Amino acid sequence: MSERGPNRPRPQLVRAEGGALFLDSELLVQMHGLMVKARVLEERLIQMYKAGHGYFWIGGPGEEAFNVPLGLLMKKGQGPAFDYLHGHYRQAATLLALGEEPIGALRQMKNTATDPYSGGRNFAGHFSKRAWNIAPITSPIEVQYVIAPGTALAQKRFGGDGITIVTGGDAGTAEGDFASCLVWSSRPGSELPILIIVTHNQWGISTAAATQQGPTSIADRGKAFGMRTASVDGNDPISSYLALKEAFAYVRSERKPFVLEAMVSRLYGHSSASGSNFVPGEVDCIVTFEELLEKKGILTRAAMDQVREKWAKEIGEMARKVRDEPQPGPESIWRNVYKEKP
Amino acid sequence: MAQAIRMALHYAEENLGVTDIFGEDVGPPLGGVFTVTQGLKTAWNSPLDERGIIGVAMGLAMGGRRPVAEIQFCDYIFNTIDLLKIAGNTCWSTDGDWNLPMVVKTPVGSGIRGSIYHSHSFDATATHIPGWKIVMPSTPLDAYGLMVSACQEENPVLFLEPKALLRIKGEEPIPGEPADERTLSKMIDAPLGDRSKWKPEWPALQPYAVPLGKAKVVKEGDTLSVVSYGRTLPLCVRAAVGLAEAGIHAEVIDLRSLWPYDWEAIRASVEKTGKVLFVNEDTEVTNFGEHLLRRTVEELFYRLEAPPRLLAGKFVPGIGLADALEVASVPQLGDITEAIRALASEQP
C-alpha cells in the first residue's frame, strides 16, 4: 500500500501559472515566519530529546501550514466571549501564531519547574493556557471532542461571537467521542458554535488509516448531522487560511457546527517512540511554500534562510537557558490537586 | 431525600450560580427517574450518552458555567472513567491553570431489587480517582446540606445518591420546608398526567450547608465504633439500638464525605472504644473500607483491643434479582447486627 493513501491531494500552491495568491504578501510573509519558527522549535525539541534533555517528544512538524492560520484566525482571550481551543499534541504552530513564546514548550520538554503548562508534569506539546482559552491538551486520543461541546454550549448561552474549535487526528475519529461530538453539536434547536477539525495525516502511530476506516472522507460524517463540511489541503497555507476563514466566519455568524478535514503530513513520525527521524516522501509544507514565495518574488531564498537562522539562534539560546533551570521539587506533587486559594 | 436534593438544587440555581442541571431524562416531562430534578428551571434532557454528559459538564465548567450533571444509574458511569480521571487531574496536570467547578450526581447501590445493572456501587471505584471530592448522604437533611456545599465547590464533586434511601422521610426538617409532607408534595412534586402547564411552588428555603469532609456521630457509645455511609448507615443505627439492651453500646459514625474524609472523627472514636467495624456495600476487594482499615491498623494499632473489621459486599460480578440473591450479596440488618455482636464479644 502506498504510504500516501489513495485520497491524498497533491499540494495546490500554484493554482495556475501566474494566478493570484488570494492573500496579501504581508500575511504570507507573516505565515511563513511563523511556520519556520514552529518547525525550528519542533526540531529543537527533537534535538533535546535525542540529547537526553527530555524523556519524550511528540509534536506537529508537517502541520504548520494548517496550524499557523488556525492560530491567526482565533479570537484570543479568556472566557466565553473569546474562542476556545481544545487542541491535540501537534499544535505548537497554533500556539506560536497566537503569540506564545517558544520557551514554554522547551521548558515543558525539559520538565522544569518553570514549565508554564504543567509545572514539569506533562509531555512536550501538552499546552494549557487559560488566559487564552487554550484547554489542557491531554494524551488520551480524542477526549477533547467530547469536552469541546461544553464550552460551545457555554458560548451559545453567553451570546456574543466566541466559538469553540476542537482538533484531533484521523485515527482517533474511530473513538466514540468523535461521534459524541457530532451528536451534541447538532441537537435540533440547540446547534452549537463549534468548528470540528480533523487533521488527517493518514496514520495512527504505525497503522495506515486506509486499513482501518472505510469512509473516503471523514468530513462527510458531518453531513449525516446536517453540518456544513469541507476538506482542505492542509499542506497549503493559502488554501488552509481561506478554508479556515470561511469556516470561522460561518460558525461565528451562524452559531452552527462545521466539520473541516485537513490533509497534512507527519514529517517526523508519530513521536520519539518511533524514532522522531525525518520521513522522506511526505510533502513538506515549508519547502513547497518557500518555492512559491520565491517564484512569486515575495521572499528571496536568502531572506528565508535568514528567518530560519534567526529562530535557530534564538530558540537555541532559549534551550541552553532552559537546560540550567531547576526541576520541580518532590514536595510539589501535592500542589494543585485542588484549586488553591490565591 | 429526593425532594431534599431537589430543593437543594433549586436553592443552588437561585443562589449559588448553578446554570445547567442535565442528563438523560433529567429535564421535563420526567424530571429524573427518581423525580430528583422535577420543576428545576435549569434542568434539561441530554442525549443518551454518558461520555457526552461528563465531557459537556467539563466543558461547561471551563466555559464559566456551573453544571450539575447526572448519570442516571452509576451502573452506566463506568464508560466515563477516563473522563472522570481527566476531570480529577485537570487542575493538577495544568499546575493550577484550570479548575472545574462541576457536580456529578448518580444513584448508587442496592435496595430496590434493581438486578445486575441498577444495583452497582461506585464508592470503591470513585475513591481511586484523585482530584474529586466525594460525598454520600444517608439523611435528607445531609443530602440537602451536602448538595449545597457541592454547588459552591471550585473542584469536581461526585454526589452519590443511595437509591434505597431516596424515598425516606427525614427526621430533621430542611430549613424552610413546610412541616406537613402533603403540603410539600403538593408544592413541588409534579402531577401525574399532563405536566406541560405545571410549575412548582418552592418553599422559602434557608441556607444550610454540610461542610465537605465532616463526619457526624449519629449515635454515641463506648463498646465499639461503627463507621458507615449511605444505605448501610441507618441499618447500623438500627443494629446498634437493637443491641443496646444487650449491653453493647456501639458508637455509629456517618462518614458523609468519602474524600476528603474525617479521620479525626474516626480516630477519636476508635481511641475511645478500641474496636471498629467499617460497613459499606461495595464489593469487598480493594474496597474503600479497606483503606480505612489499613489506616486504623497503621496509626491506631496500639489502641486496638480487637482486629478492625470490614463488612462489605460480596466479591461477585453482580447483584442478582431474586430476593435471596440480593440479600446474600450486600450487608443487611442481620449481618450488621451479627458483625457488631461478634466484634463486641472479642477479647484481647
Q: Evaluate whether B241 touches B219 at the Cβ level (below 8 Å).
A: yes
Q: Is A337 within the bounds of a domain?
A: no
> What's the confidence (pLDDT) of residue A97?
98
Q: In what order do the strands lie in the sheet with B133-135?
A: B43-45, B20-23, B67-70, B103-108, B157-162, B133-135, B257-259
Same domain, B149 and B262: no
Please report the pLDDT score of residue B348 as a whole number: 80
Whether the CA torsion B265, B269, B275, B278 is positive or negative: it is: negative
Half-sphere exposure of B236 (CA within 13 A, CB side): 32
Residue B172 in any domain: the answer is yes
Name the strand (E) or helix (H) holding A152. helix A144-158
Residue contact A118–B86, C-beta within 8 A: no
Sign of CA dihedral B261, B264, B267, B273: negative
Residue B59 in domain: yes
- The reply to whether A16 falls in a domain is no
Shared-domain flag, residues B259 and B134: no
User: Does pLDDT of B56 surpass 80?
Assistant: yes
Query: Domain count of chain A?
Result: 1
Q: Is residue A5 part of a domain?
A: no
| Whole-number pLDDT of residue A13 | 47
User: What domain count does chain B have?
Assistant: 2
Q: Does B208 fall in a domain?
A: no
The list of chain A residues with pLDDT below 70 reads 1-19
Chain B residue whose CA is closest to A78: B63
* Residue the block writes with cell 474524600: B259
Check A149 against B55: CB less than 8 A apart.
Answer: yes
What three-state secondary structure class fits B1?
coil
Question: For the domain that residue A191 is a member of, what is the CATH number?
Answer: 3.40.50.970
Domain that holds residue B258: 216-345
Going A263 to A236 to A71 to A100, the CA torsion angle's sign is positive
Beta carbons within 8 Å of A341's beta carbon, 6+ residues apart: none
**Cβ-proximal residues to B17 (8 Å cutoff; 6+ apart), any chain:** B66, B151
Q: What are phi and psi of A314, to 5 degrees?
A: -65, -45
Query: Would B204 be classed as within a structural domain?
Result: no
Residue A132: which domain range?
A: 25-325
User: Do B16 and B157 reside in the same domain of the chain?
Assistant: yes
Judged against a pLDDT cut of 50, whether residue B196 lies above it is answered with: yes
Same domain, B179 and B246: no
- B12 with B140, same domain? yes
Tell me if B62 and A84 make a contact (CB, 8 A cut-off). Answer: yes
SS3 A16: coil
Residue range B190-210: average pLDDT?
A: 94
The amino acid present at B196, given as its one-letter code, is S
Residue A193 contacts residue A156 (beta carbons within 8 Å): yes
What's the grid cell of residue B102?
462541576
Q: Is B98:A136 a contact under the CB 8 Å cutoff?
A: yes
* Closest to B159 (Cα-Cα) out of B6, B334, B335, B262: B6
pLDDT at residue A22, as a whole number:
86
Instruction: Specify the pLDDT at position A11.
Output: 46
Q: For chain B, say whether A158 makes contact (Cβ under 8 Å).
A: yes
Q: Cβ(A64)–Cβ(A285) under 8 Å?
A: yes
Catalytic residues of B: 118
Domain CATH number, residue B230: 3.40.50.920
Contact B59 A337 (CB under 8 A): no
**C-alpha cell read off for B97:** 491553570
Burial class (CB in 10 A: 0-12, 13-18, 19+), A2: exposed
A116 in any annotated domain: yes
Taking only residues 78 to 97 of chain A, the set having a beta carbon closer than 8 angstroms to any beta carbon of chain B reads 79-80, 84, 86
Domain membership flag for residue B210? no
Let me know if residue A40 belongs to a domain. yes
Same domain, B35 and B142: yes
Provide DSSP, B47-78.
Answer: -S-HHHHHHHHHHHHHTT--EEEE-SSGGG-G
Q: How many CB pairs under 8 A join A and B?
A: 133
- Asked whether residue B6 falls in the same domain as residue B151, the answer is yes
- Indicate whether B207 belongs to any domain: no
Residues B257 and B140 in one domain: no
The pLDDT tens digits for B247-284 are: 999 999 999 999 999 999 999 999 999 999 999 999 99
- Please check whether residue A191 lies inside any domain of the structure: yes
Cβ A267 vs Cβ A298: under 8 Å:
no
End-to-end CA separation in angstroms for chain A = 56
Has residue B13 got a pLDDT over 60?
A: yes
Task: For chain A, say whether B157 makes contact (Cβ under 8 Å).
Answer: no
**pLDDT at residue number A18:** 57
Q: Within the 35-94 window of chain B, which residues sit less than 8 Å (CB to CB) from chain A?
A: 47, 49, 51-52, 54-65, 67, 82-83, 86, 90-94
Cβ B83–A335 below 8 Å, yes or no?
A: no
Residue B305: inside a domain = yes
- pLDDT computed for residue A2 by the predictor: 37
pLDDT digits (tens, 9 = 90+) for B304-343: 999 999 999 999 999 999 999 999 999 999 999 999 999 9
DSSP 3-state helix, strand, coil percentages of chain A (rounded to 5)?
45, 10, 45
Does residue B202 lie within any of the structural domains? no
Q: ipTM higher than 0.90?
A: yes
SS3 content of chain B, % helix, strand, coil (to 5): 40, 15, 45
Residue A340 inside a domain? The answer is no
